[in-house]
Amino acid sequence: MSSAKKLTAIEKRAANPSALAAFELQQLQQQLPLAFPRDGELPPSPKAHYRSAYGYLGFDDLDNADALESNSAFEVAIRLFDYTELEPLLAAHIYTPSAKGQVPFHPVSMYLLSLYRRERKLSRHEVLRQLRHEQDGRGLRRYLGFDQAMPSESGLRYFERQITPELQQEINALQIDVLYQAGFLPCRPDTERKVSLSFDGMLHEARSRMRCSSVRERCYAPAPRPCAARDKKKRGCDCDDADCAAICRHATSRDPEARLVVYSGQNKRAKQSPNAPQEEKSRQSPRGRIVYGYYSYAGQILDQDRATFWVLPAAFGAATCGDPTLFPDNFTYLQARLPWLKIEQVYADAGICEQHCLDHIWDAGALRMVDIRAHKSDRDPASCLNRGYDENGHPLCPFGYVLHANGHDYQRRRTKWRCAKRCQRHAQRPVPPCDYLKAKYKHGYTVTVGRTHADGSVRLAREIPYGSAAWKERYNRRNAAESRNSVLKRLGLKHLPVHGLSHGHVTVLQGDFVANQRTLVRLVRQATALT
């Protein structure tokens, strides 16, 4: 075993300063500000006047490494990005053409205030108190465009509740577009380079407290209704009380989409569900972590040269929504929304080791670097021999010897396997009466594996041999993807601060937006410090 110290991400970047050249402050200033693109089909804002006046104020005070370090990540980002062109997008979704009521605040001012609140994990009351502070809030007011008038807590609440998942998803996609056009991603407009995507999920606890572990959608329907708990031979609720007329009194009214799972920490075993009953001896103390809430699932662009990642717009659902449910639609959305995103390979754990998920990756022309979900047949040598491949998806010869991969044909998209007549070198077993041992078969018995194995199965079909040194080297690259979960946890999003699936989705998407801004600022700081 090697005793060499594993390098941190910072050390990897320091060892490859050329990869950071584009992020060095003097170099970066040549293309600032990083402007969000404007949708030319959007109409002008329905509001002619605002009580705030957001405008990009430049980056002149970011003139050295000390300035980069003394300002927070948000304060640096507000100088790097020009958010002006988000006005018509935000206004079209949030404001209506009406002369009634007060003149609203500039939508970009309000959006950035909401983003700042998410960055600092502040309540509405706390962020508004900071904004109004004569000294501490001066810089924030200046860069967000607030002057004399300040939003109220109810006004900020109204604005935030008008942000839909679709709107926030589009803003996150625009952020990725900006980073791509600036040349900050592994793929750039001036190259045809493909990227590696890594997908991973995260459980988020609901803000509401769970009252019944068996709550289902039907519990929110008017009485009379069947009881899921009673179906499981539990006490349940007969819903004959007046409090149960609209919804069951044991259902959480403010988080109706939240569900309970028991997360075991792995999903490689066949047909294993977090809700599956435990063995009789352990029914009272199920293994795993109980989570009542939601589940986010996001892809990340892996940047090996800079030892980092960029989060793509995430999917979101109840905690019972597994990877196979969320991946296909999210993957399709990313392909349609980001047509410049050319995918070389997709990394994921065994959660999406399902045919409909693997076929999506195959159809995208990408390598399926997806961990294997086991099946009971994998443990039966006779079943493996009958189907023609082992538990790792490695083809077998008719006499049970494992074939060796002989390279992947990227044009024809198939991997060639051969036996190389290894049975002749096996001391403990007799040489079988195999026709492929004849001299005319130079490589012995050969098999090719493409989208499927010979029996039509997709589950264990991979372009890179599973478990091989090449597989392990590639698959280990996805370790950075786990950092998304760490960032969201530090932002306080392990336990959601909002109610409901829609607001939860928006909040998590904003967390991913903040994560990408932090990544950019981190790279700018390190690149500048190195020079």
Residue 235 CB neighbour total at 10 angstroms: 9
In-domain check, residue 33: yes
Our count of domains for the chain comes to 3
Q: In the sheet where 414-418 sits, what is the strand order?
A: 404-409, 414-418, 446-449
Per-residue pLDDT tens digits for 13-22: 999 999 999 9
- 121 & 229 share domain: no
In Å, how far are 41, 50, 164, 165, 178 from 171, measured between CA atoms?
A: 16, 21, 11, 10, 11
Of the pLDDT bands very low, low, confident and very high (cuts 50, 70, 90), residue 276 is: very low
Are 392 and 446 in contact by the 8 Å Cβ rule? The answer is no
Q: What is the mean pLDDT of residues 320-342?
A: 96
Q: What is the mean pLDDT of residues 472-495?
A: 88
- Averaged pLDDT, 62-91: 92
The answer to whether position 526 is within a domain reads: yes
| Residue where a domain terminates, one of 196, 219, 251 | 251
Residues 6+ apart with CB under 8 A from 134: none
At 194-220, the pLDDT tens digits run 999 999 999 999 999 999 999 999 999
Residues 437 and 516 in one domain: no
- What's the domain range around 396? 380-458
Confidence at 481, pLDDT banded by 50, 70, 90: low
pLDDT for residue 300 is more than 80: yes
Residue 485 burial (CB count, 10 A): 17
Name the residue with higher pLDDT: 531 or 22.
Answer: 22
Q: Is residue 373 part of a domain?
A: no
Residue 67 is predicted with a pLDDT of 85
pLDDT of residue 325: 96
Q: Which two tokens stand for residue 306?
A: 């800079």
Q: Which of the listed ranges 36-40, 44-48, 341-345 does the model predict with the highest average pLDDT?
A: 341-345
308 located within any domain: no
Q: Is residue 270 part of a domain?
A: no
Verify that 35 and 139 share a domain, yes or no.
yes
Supply the angle between the helices 323-337 and 355-363 in degrees, to the nearest 10: 20
| Average pLDDT of span 148-153 | 95
- Which DSSP string do the residues of 479-523 spell out, in sequence order? GGGGHHHHHHHHTT-SB-SS-SHHHHHHHHHHHHHHHHHHHHHHH
> Does residue 397 share a domain with residue 521?
no
Tell whether 59 is covered by a domain.
Answer: yes
- The answer on pLDDT for 483 being more than 90 is no
The Cα–Cα gap between 267 and 322 comes to 10
Would you mind telling me the total number of residues written for the chain in this entry?
Answer: 531
Range among 36-45, 83-92, 420-429 with highest mean pLDDT value? 83-92
Domain termination site, one of 458, 485, 517: 458
Judgement on whether residues 428 and 516 belong to the same structural domain of the protein: no
Residue 278 lies in a domain: no
- Picking from 37-41, 277-281, 400-404, which range would have the lowest pLDDT averaged per residue? 277-281
Is residue 102 located within the same domain as residue 219? no
Residues 137 and 47 in one domain: yes
Please tell me whether residues 35 and 87 are part of one structural domain: yes
For every residue of 255-284, DSSP letters joined together read -TT-EEEEE-S---STT--TTSPPPGGGTT
Q: Is the pLDDT of residue 2 over 80?
A: no
Report if residue 232 sits inside a domain: yes
